[in-house]
């Protein structure tokens, strides 16, 4: 990019956009929008055909929330968005936000700003970059793109005034409202090279907001389930306004808890005041943030860099302000991360100093393929005005922006604001009033491959605190006790750890129990009644779900006397507020219920028995496998509109169905040991996996099907069939990438830990659960599960913090501590009963 005139750097974010104006010899400054350096990325379609942005969009949304899109960046893969009754291209939404930036830039510069540098995640592929560039081209005469970590690294090099000599390596930890990225970069003579990167499309500040809302719901739904449902599932314009404002208050309260110990929120419709505490926030946020720290550690390992070799771990993005972020990173890496005073402006501020080609022209985009790479979806606890759209994650594309030989050296800029580089440490400070010690990193190990390759001598640059004291938090464990920087290693045992068996409260009858996807609710299914409880406390929730006492004649006039409707099985939606059930008797009803009120929302089908029920993680799709048929029906959850059917290419029964974390891919059992992959939007079949051996002589009615599970990032699919073999597949290419091992009997259930480190598989014939380490892809250990003869296990799942594994067996839940299983495996040599 030619360095003349004035240009603007833009960080187009999920909820907020930041922009910085720069020029040769001029003061680099952030643009202000309505007095703030952050412009809400929201867009509102007004009645005149225009698009409002920023605070204007937020204010207008309170009157007509159906015309409002708060996060256009999350719609990057959608093509178009429906605002009210109007279809708007996503590129137009982005262009509307950029146009507001251009207006402010022109006014401050006193001239037309023609050049703009826009940042994007390093994992974005050509299709997404092309959409962003098309929007920028509609606004700026000379747009260019640069990856976010490269922009952030240039901020540290130029504006922040840090000394990063050529060869230095740093990590950029970027946690925004809706996404997370970790990138390891190496300083080169003319810029930065990306060594490795990784991220999560489903983790950000919004997910912590949703966790807070779920926690509040545990209290207020019990007080007035109908009022709480109005907040979480608004149907009228007034309810949507109240819901939007409440979510905004929850987000603001979360941000306040980074500065205060508690905050009080008003709860609409209930005239109550909710008290949120810092410790409560940490307990809810730790499993979410723990996933980001695990990704950061894996990215560092992929770059073959020891933590001690890093010149710094830099925190970027508004959500990285949470002190718990620095605490968890320090514990995991042993290195205090650096938090700047305005982390929201780091990427935009560095973008104007990143070496760029004169212009970045991308080829015309190819048609979007039917099968897209998957990524885990966001939590769907947000209301309709907070859509949890999450596009597919392209395979990581480590990309550096090459330096143009004609590009001048980046200008030396005056800092945006006085830069306060704050190291964040774990554990309490040694003195109540003293700033924590800034500990320089020790050199890397002599045997480090990266050191041998580049001959680096890494260290930490000493940071100036400028009178600031770091506020540290020691998170609480699940029991509310103060935790230290490291967990206690469980005592090794010579015998497999025994499960903790949780039984239903006295007087509660059930033939089956089901856990919600978030592991916080349990449904106890009796013949005519379903009762719901919190888990693992088993405190009652709402009213029982009950079918009528009247009898019915089965559809089609089944022979024999009339019979009562009954319950056979159930499945929670992602937030546990809705339950889908099916009837195993003569009627074959598939029904949907509100958990809090016990009210039936709708009977959506009476086409026969259902052998599987499943909601998509985004709560926008629902599928039911149709018992004795070789097909499954799919509905849109909004309005329970039928979308069509998927059909096996085999005459066997479909027994398993699971959506990818972002809800765009559907995997079903295909009969005869196969797994079928479907585009969840078009219901077209792009692929088939031969996942298990299948006896040619087996009766198709006896086919147990193939168990299926997606990894948290959606890129890996695990399968386990009647041959007992657990396999891993690339969900994008559909190629087998590993055979983990084998059970002595068929596999009926699979589950990934939310942090992605462990896979669990369970076998009915073997009556064991086996754990597999996903880093080494090795077997950890088997643990037996018990129960009466003939009672099958089901619903294998991990707790949200990945610390426990649970299996529903009859009317009980059996739980194991994952750490205890690993300790047992470490105490046995060789691997006990290894496959």
Q: Got the DSSP string for 350-416?
A: HHTTS---S---PPPPPPPPSS----PPPPS-S-TTS----PPPPPP-----PPPTTPPPPPP---S
pLDDT over threshold 50, residue 24: yes
What integer best gives the mean pLDDT of the chain? Answer: 75
Q: How do residues 684-734 score in pLDDT, each as one tens digit?
A: 887 888 888 877 666 666 677 889 999 998 989 999 988 889 999 998 888
pLDDT of 677? 92
Q: At what angle do helices 323-333 and 278-302 cross, to 10 degrees?
A: 40
pLDDT over threshold 90, residue 463: no
For a pLDDT cut of 90, what percent of the chain falls above it?
A: 19
816: cis peptide before it, omega within 30°? no
pLDDT of 552? 58
CATH topology of domain 508-549+566-610: Thrombin, subunit H (2.40.10)
Q: How confident is residue 341, by pLDDT bands cut at 50, 70 and 90?
A: low
Number of C-alpha atoms within 13 angstroms, CB side, residue 433?
Answer: 0
Tokens in use for 565? 């409707």
Mean pLDDT, rounded, for 105-114: 86
Hey, where are the domains in the chain?
A: 1-160+340-357+401-415, 164-333+417-487, 508-549+566-610
Higher-confidence residue: 405 or 511? 511
Higher-confidence residue: 784 or 200? 784
CA-based end-to-end distance of the chain:
58
pLDDT over threshold 80, residue 80: yes
Q: Does domain 164-333+417-487 have CATH number 3.30.420.40?
A: yes
Q: Which residue in 730, 717, 662 sits closest to 178, CA to CA?
A: 662
pLDDT over threshold 50, residue 432: no
Residues 6 or more apart from 159 whose CB is under 8 A from it? 28, 349, 350, 353, 413, 415, 416, 419
Q: How confident is residue 608, by pLDDT bands cut at 50, 70 and 90?
A: low
C-alpha–C-alpha distance, residues 821 and 835, integer Å? 16
Q: Options 3.40.640.10, 3.40.1360.10, 3.30.420.40, 3.40.50.1370; which CATH number does 1-160+340-357+401-415 get?
A: 3.30.420.40
Is the Cβ–Cβ distance between 393 and 199 less than 8 Å? Answer: yes
pLDDT of 425? 34
Cβ-based neighbour number of residue 63 at 10 Å: 12
What phi-psi label fits residue 242: left (phi over 0), alpha (psi between -120 and 50 degrees) or beta?
A: alpha
C-alpha–C-alpha distance, residues 171 and 198, integer Å? 11
pLDDT of 139? 92
pLDDT of 524? 93
Mean pLDDT, rounded, for 517-541: 89
Exposed, middle or buried by CB within 10 Å (0-12, 13-18, 19+), for 489?
exposed
Is the Cβ–Cβ distance between 653 and 700 less than 8 Å? Answer: yes
Q: How do residues 380-428 score in pLDDT, each as one tens digit?
A: 333 333 333 333 333 333 333 333 333 322 222 222 222 333 333 333 3
Residue with tokens 């109005």: 230
pLDDT over threshold 50, residue 810: yes
C-alpha–C-alpha distance, residues 1 and 354, integer Å? 10
Which one of 257-271, 373-387, 484-498 scores highest in mean pLDDT? Answer: 257-271
Residue with tokens 């629902």: 622
Q: How confident is residue 636, by pLDDT bands cut at 50, 70 and 90?
A: very high
Segment holding 771, helix H or strand E: strand 768-773
Number of C-alpha atoms within 13 angstroms, CB side, residue 251?
Answer: 17
Higher-confidence residue: 760 or 203? 760
Higher-confidence residue: 268 or 513? 513
C-alpha–C-alpha distance, residues 497 and 783, integer Å? 7
pLDDT over threshold 80, residue 816: yes
pLDDT of 615? 94
pLDDT over threshold 60, residue 368: no
pLDDT of 121? 83
pLDDT of 807? 92
pLDDT of 760? 95
Q: At what angle do helices 237-256 and 225-232 cross, to 10 degrees?
A: 80
Tokens in use for 492? 């090794």
pLDDT of 551? 58
Sign, CA dihedral 552-558-560-566, equals negative
pLDDT of 753? 92
Whether 1-160+340-357+401-415 shares its CATH topology with 164-333+417-487 is answered yes
- Weakest mean pLDDT among 20-29, 145-154, 263-272, 459-468: 459-468
Whether this model's pTM surpasses 0.75:
no
C-alpha–C-alpha distance, residues 314 and 149, integer Å? 10
pLDDT over threshold 90, residue 578: yes
Higher-confidence residue: 82 or 255? 82
The alpha carbon of residue 87 and the mean position of all alpha carbons in its chain are separated, in whole angstroms, by 27
CA-based R_g, the chain, Å? 27
Is the Cβ–Cβ distance between 671 and 631 less than 8 Å? Answer: no
pLDDT over threshold 50, residue 559: no
The DSSP code sequence of 182-199 is EEEEEEETTEEEEEEEEE
Find residue 544's DSSP bridge partners: none
pLDDT over threshold 70, residue 825: yes
Is the Cβ–Cβ distance between 541 and 532 less than 8 Å? Answer: yes
Exposed, middle or buried by CB within 10 Å (0-12, 13-18, 19+), for 585?
middle
H helix intervals, 40-89: 54-61
Mean pLDDT, rounded, for 332-351: 80
Is the Cβ–Cβ distance between 93 and 45 less than 8 Å? Answer: no
pLDDT over threshold 80, residue 511: yes
Mean pLDDT, rounded, for 53-72: 85
Higher-confidence residue: 710 or 819? 710
- CA 179-183-187 angle, to 5 degrees, is 145
Q: What is the dihedral of CA 201, 203, 209, 215, to 10 degrees?
A: 120
pLDDT over threshold 50, residue 435: no
Q: How do residues 131-150 score in pLDDT, each as one tens digit?
A: 999 999 999 988 999 888 78
Mean pLDDT, rounded, for 634-658: 85
Find residue 525's DSSP bridge partners: 512, 530
pLDDT over threshold 50, residue 486: no
């Amino acid at each position: 990019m030619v360095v003349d005139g004035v240009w603007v750097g833009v960080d187009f974010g999920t909820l907020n956009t930041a922009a910085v104006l720069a020029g040769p010899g001029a003061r680099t400054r952030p643009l202000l929008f309505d007095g703030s350096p952050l412009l809400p990325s929201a867009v509102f379609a007004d009645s005149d055909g225009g698009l409002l942005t920023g605070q204007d969009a937020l204010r207008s949304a309170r009157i007509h929330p159906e015309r409002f899109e708060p996060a256009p960046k999350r719609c990057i893969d959608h093509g178009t968005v429906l605002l009210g009754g109007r279809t708007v291209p996503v590129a137009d939404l982005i262009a509307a936000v950029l146009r507001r930036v251009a207006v402010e830039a022109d006014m401050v510069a006193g001239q037309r700003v023609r050049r703009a540098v826009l940042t994007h995640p390093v994992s974005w592929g050509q299709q997404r970059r092309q959409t962003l560039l098309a929007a920028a081209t509609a606004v700026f005469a000379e747009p260019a793109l640069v990856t976010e970590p490269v922009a952030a690294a240039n901020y540290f090099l130029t504006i922040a005034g840090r000394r990063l000599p050529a060869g230095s390596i740093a990590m950029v930890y970027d946690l925004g409202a809706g996404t997370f990225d970790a990138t390891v970069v190496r300083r080169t003579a003319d810029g930065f090279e990306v060594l490795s990167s990784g991220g999560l499309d489903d983790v950000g500040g919004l997910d912590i907001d949703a966790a807070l809302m779920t926690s509040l719901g545990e209290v207020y739904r019990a007080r007035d389930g109908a009022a709480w449902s109005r907040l979480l599932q608004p149907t009228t314009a007034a309810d949507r306004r109240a819901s939007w404002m409440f979510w905004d208050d929850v987000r603001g309260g979360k941000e306040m808890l980074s500065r205060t110990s508690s905050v009080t929120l008003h709860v609409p419709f209930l005239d109550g005041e909710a008290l949120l505490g810092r410790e409560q926030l940490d307990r809810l946020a730790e499993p979410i943030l723990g996933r980001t720290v695990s990704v950061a550690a894996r990215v560092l390992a992929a770059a073959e860099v020891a933590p001690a070799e890093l010149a710094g771990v830099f925190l970027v993005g508004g959500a990285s302000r949470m002190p718990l972020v620095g605490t968890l990173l320090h514990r995991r890496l042993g290195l205090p991360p650096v938090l700047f005073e305005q982390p929201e402006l780091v990427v935009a501020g560095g973008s104007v100093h990143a070496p760029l080609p004169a212009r970045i022209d991308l080829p015309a985009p190819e048609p979007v393929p039917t099968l897209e790479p998957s990524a885990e979806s966001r939590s769907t606890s947000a209301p309709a005005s907070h859509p949890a759209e999450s596009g597919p994650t392209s395979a990581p594309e480590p990309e550096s922006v090459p330096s143009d030989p004609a590009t001048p050296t980046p200008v030396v800029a005056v800092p945006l604001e006085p830069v306060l580089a704050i190291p964040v440490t774990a554990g309490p400070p040694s003195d109540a009033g003293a700033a924590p010690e800034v500990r320089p990193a020790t050199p890397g190990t002599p045997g480090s491959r990266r050191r041998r390759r580049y001959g680096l001598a890494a260290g930490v640059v000493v940071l100036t605190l400028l009178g600031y004291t770091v506020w540290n938090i020691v998170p609480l464990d699940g029991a509310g006790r103060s935790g230290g920087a490291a967990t206690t290693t469980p005592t090794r045992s010579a015998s497999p750890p025994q499960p903790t068996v949780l039984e239903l409260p006295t007087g509660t009858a059930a033939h089956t129990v089901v856990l919600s996807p978030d592991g916080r609710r349990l449904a106890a299914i009796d013949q005519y009644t379903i009762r719901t409880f919190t888990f693992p406390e088993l405190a009652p929730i709402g009213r029982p779900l009950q079918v009528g006492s009247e009898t019915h004649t089965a559809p089609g006039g089944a022979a024999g006397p009339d019979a009562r409707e009954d319950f056979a099985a159930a499945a929670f939606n992602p937030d546990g507020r809705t339950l889908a059930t099916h009837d195993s008797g003569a009627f074959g009803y598939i029904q949907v219920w509100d958990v809090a009120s016990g009210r039936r929302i709708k009977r959506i089908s009476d086409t026969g028995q259902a052998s599987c029920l499943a909601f998509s993680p985004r709560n926008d799709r629902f599928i039911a496998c149709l018992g004795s048929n070789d097909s499954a029906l799919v509905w849109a959850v909004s309005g329970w509109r039928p979308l069509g059917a998927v059909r096996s290419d085999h005459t066997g029964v479909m027994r398993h169905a699971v959506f990818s974390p972002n809800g765009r891919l559907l995997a079903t059992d295909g009969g005869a040991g196969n797994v079928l992959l479907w585009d969840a939007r078009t219901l077209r079949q792009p692929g088939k996996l031969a996942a298990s051996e299948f006896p040619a002589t087996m009766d198709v009615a006896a086919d147990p099907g193939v168990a299926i599970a997606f990894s948290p990032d959606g890129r890996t699919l695990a399968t386990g069939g009647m041959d007992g073999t657990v396999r891993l597949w690339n969900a994008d290419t559909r190629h087998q990438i590993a055979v983990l091992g084998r059970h002595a009997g068929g596999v009926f259930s699979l589950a990934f830990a939310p942090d992605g480190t462990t896979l669990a598989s369970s076998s009915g014939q073997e009556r064991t659960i086996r754990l597999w380490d996903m880093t080494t892809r090795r077997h950890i250990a088997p643990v037996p599960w018990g129960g009466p003869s003939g009672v099958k296990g089901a619903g294998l799942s991990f707790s949200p913090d990945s610390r426990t594994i649970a299996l529903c067996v009859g009317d009980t839940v059996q739980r194991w501590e994952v750490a205890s299983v690993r300790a047992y495996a470490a105490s046995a040599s060789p691997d006990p009963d290894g496959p």
